[in-house]
Amino acid sequence: MLETEELKKVFKGKTAVEGASLYLDKGESVGLLGPNGAGKSTTISMISTLLKPTSGDVRLNGKSVIKNPSEMRRVLGVVPQEIALYGELTAYENLKFFGRIYGLSGKALETAIQRSLELVGLMERQKEIVKTYSGGMKRRVNIAAAMMHEPEVIIMDEPTVGIDPQSRSHILEMVRQLNQEKGLTVLYTSHYMEEVERLCDRVYIMDHGKIIASGTKEELKSILSSEETVWIELDRPYPEFFKELQSFEMIKQATETEKGIKLILPKGSRVLGKVFQASERHQVQIINVNVQTPSLEDVFLHLTGRKLRD
Amino acid sequence: MKSVFLLQWQRFRRAPVMMLSFLVMTIIFVALLAGNNPAERSAILTYADASLSAPEAEDWVASLNEAGEFKFQLMDENEVREAVAAGDAPLALRLMEGNYRIVLAADDMSRFVLEAFLNRKYREELRFQQVEQQTAGSDIRTEVAALMEEPPLQIVTATLDGKEEFRYDNQLQLLFGMTLFFSVYTIMFSLMKIVEEKKYGTWDRLILSPVGKWEIYLGHLAYSFTIGYFQIVLIFVLFKYVFNFDVGDRFGAILLIIACYTFAIVALSMLVMSLVSRPQQLQAVVPIIATGMAMIGGAFWPIELVNSNMLLAISKILPITYGLDALKGVAIYDRSWQELSEPISILLLYGVVCMGIGINLMERRNY
């Protein structure tokens, strides 16, 4: 339904996005994952026709939308990262305005407003001024505004940034419903791994302006199928112990965390015995040891050498 | 366009304080400062010395008051001298036979204006009296008044560069200057909504909608124009009909000039918006532009008093210069449409050029 081909964007000589090719099938929920500054927002700005790419193409049902963006804009709803609302107006007034600019009027407009408010669970508080809302409520109205014209594709740019867990959970559930029950095609960008794992069928991972991996969650995790992750929880940091572990040839990657040490090992490697011996030598107090199957976070770490929220 | 235009009014109704404050400030400034106009001052305390009888003194005061430029109040000499000595009156007038004296406690700049008036009135009156003595029985005053309606000789005063002689009207200078000055704030801050929309993402929502980009711009520009235009018109109407400022009989011409000036300032605002990226920057830039433009363009004091060639040259690129020139041209000099066409055309040209550059720069920054 929607695809991009080798999208590139250069700002004042600096390449923000390079060679970004991705596709979305109808009714699919796709995640675009990457740390801050990875190029996610620039990519979705190009896809949503807000930004002209330096090179490459965006196609909707096989037709390029670069020169003629109106077709794309008709079927597209965008939930921006910012709270793109008029703070001095009520939620109802905001939605009324956004409905009007899509040509809605009279009963159709009123129906669209009530439908959108119901979707985001703000029917009761629709007449309150938006700037008096909590962060989570503002985010919900932000989504409702993008839903006024019943788009077929919705692009959400980090829609849960800076909100409380309850509102976040509400929004995630809403997105899931939109995708699974109403068949909406969703492109969801986030730097929260668990959101993408929960919502998306397929994932693109971006870093430094490039898509470095893509596939279903299982496909991505299979990158690490030959590996396993071992968490060693310690009572306090032991730098000498960590240094010794890093020198073990069998350990592919060792990372020091707040609570202990994370090791990525080849599957089936018998290195734990040596780890315990080293802990004896350094008089390390181990509280817990946990062997995990890989997560997307591990895949990201493996691919980029850094954490998603770094 | 209509939706965007109406939205701005809806937002204005929710947060009108800033915009209305410019309207109120204009009214306060003009009303307070225009009180210094000689015609509006308190009466000049006047007494007659022994050379004049009481009826003669009363005749002189009535004659002086006839002109309406100052108000003279005949009082007892001791009372007048006490009032001046106590500082209750800055100056007083002593009437003498065929002469006068100004009594001052301290030097006062306004005495020059008063002295010029008294000189003129005394010459005129004394000449009448001399003629009346020579031609006993004839009503020379009525004859002169009748002749002056169609004078046999007309004297036209012109300066070397062909411009009209400078005439200063304190009330109109303040009214026009302050109103045009504060309207710059109103227009620029109202158009700041475009920068806010771009910063907070609502602009992108509008761009993604079926509303054309030109409609979005037009909605904002029409709102800024309307709010700026009505602010100026409201103040002019208020001072013309409530405070009785004499803005002349050609109010239609004044409305047209206001429209052209407002268009030029809206366009200038558009250019300024295209050069800044954050609303906070604008809050710093707008006062600098508005005040600088008002000072150099002659809103705070008449441009005719400025001698610096450099400042005069800079004033030629400021729309406020042409706005004030055209308004004074109508209200003070009663210029013809042909003469007014120059400042009006410059304002329109200014508007078109600034608007073109402004929108172009703003659009370029998007990509």
Q: Smallest CA–CA separation between A50 and chain B, in Å?
A: 7
Q: Does A82 touch chain B (CB under 8 A)?
A: yes
Q: Does B7 touch chain A (CB under 8 A)?
A: yes
For chain B, domain boundaries: 2-35+167-366, 39-149
Cβ within 8 Å, pair A102-B209: yes
As a whole number, mean pLDDT of residues B17-33 equals 84
Closest CA to A88 of B182, B225, B202: B202
As a whole number, mean pLDDT of residues B315-319 equals 88
As a whole number, mean pLDDT of residues A118-139 equals 86
Residue B157 pLDDT = 62
The shortest CB-CB distance from B3 to any of A80, A82, A97 is to A97
As a whole number, mean pLDDT of residues B333-354 equals 89
Are the C-beta atoms of residues B321 and B235 closer than 8 Å to each other? no
As a whole number, mean pLDDT of residues B332-337 equals 82
Specify which residues B16 forms β-bridges with. none
Are the C-beta atoms of residues A159 and A135 closer than 8 Å to each other? no
Tokens 């009503």 — which residue?
Answer: B139
DSSP E strands, chain B: 44-48, 72-74, 91-96, 99-104
Q: Smallest CA–CA separation between A228 and chain B, in Å?
A: 43
- Domains in chain A, CATH or no CATH each: 2-221 (3.40.50.300), 226-293 (3.30.70.920)
Q: Annotate B224-252 with DSSP letters as a single string.
A: HHHHHHHHHHHHHHHHHHTS-----S-HH
pLDDT above 90 (res B294): no
Measured distance CA(A18)–CA(A6) in Å, rounded: 7
Q: Does B39 touch chain A (CB under 8 A)?
A: no
Question: Which residues numbered 181-200 in B keep a CB inside 8 Å of some CB on A?
Answer: 200
Residue B144 pLDDT = 82
Measured distance CA(A140)–CA(A174) in Å, rounded: 9
As a whole number, mean pLDDT of residues A266-271 equals 77
Of B147-161, B189-203, B331-345, least confident by mean pLDDT is B147-161
Residue B39 pLDDT = 44
Measured distance CA(B20)–CA(B238) in Å, rounded: 15
pLDDT band of residue B367 (cuts 50, 70, 90) is very low
Question: Which residues numbered 168-207 in A keep a CB inside 8 Å of some CB on B?
Answer: none
pLDDT above 70 (res A307): no
As a whole number, mean pLDDT of residues B222-249 equals 89
Closest CA to B327 of B226, B253, B217, B241: B253
Cβ within 8 Å, pair A88-B210: no
pLDDT band of residue B1 (cuts 50, 70, 90) is confident
Residue B106 pLDDT = 74
DSSP H or E run through B302: none
Q: State the CB neighbour count (10 A cutoff) for residue A166.
A: 10
Q: Does A84 touch chain B (CB under 8 A)?
A: yes
Quick: pLDDT tens for A197-212.
888 888 898 888 888 8
Average pLDDT, chain A: 85
pLDDT band of residue A177 (cuts 50, 70, 90) is confident
Average pLDDT, chain B: 84
pLDDT above 80 (res B44): yes
Instruction: Identify from A88, A101, A109, A132 which residue to disrupt to test chain B contact, counting B C-beta atoms within 10 A and taking the largest count.
Output: A101
Measured distance CA(A167)–CA(A175) in Å, rounded: 12
Question: Which residues numbered 53-72 in A keep a CB inside 8 Å of some CB on B?
Answer: 70
CATH class, domain B39-149, is alpha beta
- Chain B positions touching A80 (Cβ under 8 A) are 201, 204-205
Q: State the CB neighbour count (10 A cutoff) for residue B45.
A: 24
Q: Smallest CA–CA separation between B228 and chain A, in Å?
A: 22
As a whole number, mean pLDDT of residues B286-307 equals 83
**Residue burial A214-248, b: 16+ Cβ < 10 Å; e: rest:** beebeebbeebeebbbbebebeeebeebbebbeeb
Which CA distances in Å does B81 have to B47, B70, B103, B110?
Answer: 9, 19, 8, 19
Which CA distances in Å does B50 have to A125, B53, B76, B96?
Answer: 86, 7, 12, 8
Are the C-beta atoms of residues B210 and A74 closer than 8 Å to each other? yes
Question: B35 or B12: whose pLDDT is higher?
Answer: B12
Q: Does B204 touch chain A (CB under 8 A)?
A: yes
Cβ within 8 Å, pair A84-B208: no
Residue A72 pLDDT = 85
pLDDT above 80 (res A297): no
